[in-house]
Amino acid sequence: MLSKSCEYAIRAMIFISQKVGDVPKASVKEIATNINAPIHFIAKILQELCKKKILQSIKGPNGGFYLEKKDLKITLAQIVLTIDGDNIYKQCILGLKECSSKKPCPVHNQYKEIRKEILTMLENNTISNFNDKLNTGKYFLKNN
């Protein structure tokens, strides 16, 4: 449903959001390690997020990636739109290029409702919504 790039982007943004006000900057290596992502792959994703003004960065030996407090209101939907575009809300679950209300696939109407629920969930969750859950130790951003 989401591309691997988008999955990593969301996990990285949630990880970085935990650092706001603490040690604010995170290196590519630190992010990659904490979300279990390939370092070169996550570096490209982080650069794209910076280019689109979703994430901040400072270059140099003491540099890194960071978010300001105002950035904690970034929604998962904004990240998905930045990385994957709006295909998740439009594409046919069966992969048909032409699938619409006028020319539906067999599951079009059911999946239409699911897409609405996904959009609502992504729009209603900011990257900071998950920090309390992660702090309990019961939720994770990477597999062991």
- Asked whether the CA dihedral 45, 49, 52, 57 is positive or negative, the reply is negative
Strand partners, 66: 56
Q: What ranges do the domains of the chain cover?
A: 4-84+126-135
Question: Distances from the Cα of 26 to the Cαs of 54, 93, 137, in angstroms?
Answer: 15, 37, 20
The reported pTM is 0.90
120 or 89, greater pLDDT: 120
CA-nearest of 92, 32, 83 to 54 is 83
Q: How confident is the model at residue 133 (pLDDT cuts 50, 70, 90)?
A: confident
User: pLDDT per residue over 63-114, tens digit each?
Assistant: 899 999 999 999 999 999 999 999 888 889 999 999 999 999 999 999 999 9
Query: 4-84+126-135 is classed in which CATH architecture?
Result: Orthogonal Bundle (1.10)
Residue 58: in which H helix or E strand, if any? strand 56-58
Q: How confident is the model at residue 22 (pLDDT cuts 50, 70, 90)?
A: low
What is the C-alpha separation between 106 and 29, in angstroms, rounded?
45
22 or 141, greater pLDDT: 141
Confidence (pLDDT) at 140: 87
What is the C-alpha separation between 78 and 122, in angstroms, rounded?
8
Q: How confident is the model at residue 144 (pLDDT cuts 50, 70, 90)?
A: low
Residue 76: in which H helix or E strand, if any? helix 76-84
Q: Spell out the residues 6+ positions from residue 111 whose beta carbon is closer than 8 angstroms to its own.
A: 92, 93
Instruction: Inform me whether the pLDDT recorded for 21 exceeds 80.
Output: no
Quick one: how far is CA 22 from the chain centroid? 21
